[in-house]
């Protein structure tokens, strides 16, 4: 019996050690990140594919088509798409499954950041 408890303890410890760590959710843009003019924001996004990882370790893929359509693919298997438009320093979307929302975007040099409308989390977008 003691051997089973010890073995179970070792297995659980190994599983917990291998479990991916979750990052702290960030809700503030980096201090040097500033808002872009609408034309500059549009130019950064149109025809581009970006990847981001959220605080829960989920991989996001976002494709901003030249025709004004956003395709979202999350590592969990969730997919959504719909038209997008730039309004000031925000990108507003009407996704088929998630509905309408606007997210704030900022940039610092080549880095692009977005604050998710759903929970305020700031994601770093990495161009692919």
When divided into structural domains, the chain yields a total of 1
3-state SS, 59-121, equals EEEEEECCCCEEEEEECCCCEEEEEEEEECCEEEEEECCCEEEEEEEEEECCEEEEECCCCCC
Q: Is 113 part of a structural domain of the chain?
A: yes
Query: At residue 12, does pLDDT exceed 80?
Result: no
Q: Is 121 part of a structural domain of the chain?
A: yes
Q: Is 79 part of a structural domain of the chain?
A: yes
Query: At residue 11, does pLDDT exceed 60?
Result: no
**Rounded Cα distance, 12 and 34, in Å:** 45
Domain that holds residue 68: 32-127
Q: CATH number of the domain that 99 lies in?
A: 2.40.128.640
Query: At residue 2, does pLDDT exceed 60?
Result: no
- 24 confidence band (pLDDT: 50, 70, 90): confident
Matching residue, tokens 């929302």: 101
Q: What is the mean pLDDT of the chain?
A: 87
Report, as an integer, the average pLDDT of 28-55.
97
Question: Residue 21: its pLDDT value, please?
Answer: 52
Query: At residue 127, does pLDDT exceed 90?
Result: yes
pTM of the model: 0.80
Q: Is 19 part of a structural domain of the chain?
A: no
């Amino acid at each position: 019996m003691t051997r089973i408890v010890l073995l179970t303890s070792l297995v659980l410890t190994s599983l917990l050690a291998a479990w991916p760590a979750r990052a702290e959710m960030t809700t503030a843009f980096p201090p040097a990140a500033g808002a872009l003019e609408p034309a500059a924001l549009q130019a950064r996004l149109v025809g581009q594919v970006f990847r981001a990882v959220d605080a829960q370790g989920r991989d996001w893929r976002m494709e901003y088509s030249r025709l004004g359509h956003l395709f979202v693919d999350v590592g969990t298997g969730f997919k959504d798409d719909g038209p997008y438009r730039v309004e000031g320093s925000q990108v507003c979307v009407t996704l088929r499954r998630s509905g309408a929302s606007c997210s704030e975007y900022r940039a610092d040099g080549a880095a692009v950041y977005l604050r998710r409308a759903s929970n305020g989390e700031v994601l770093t977008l990495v161009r692919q």
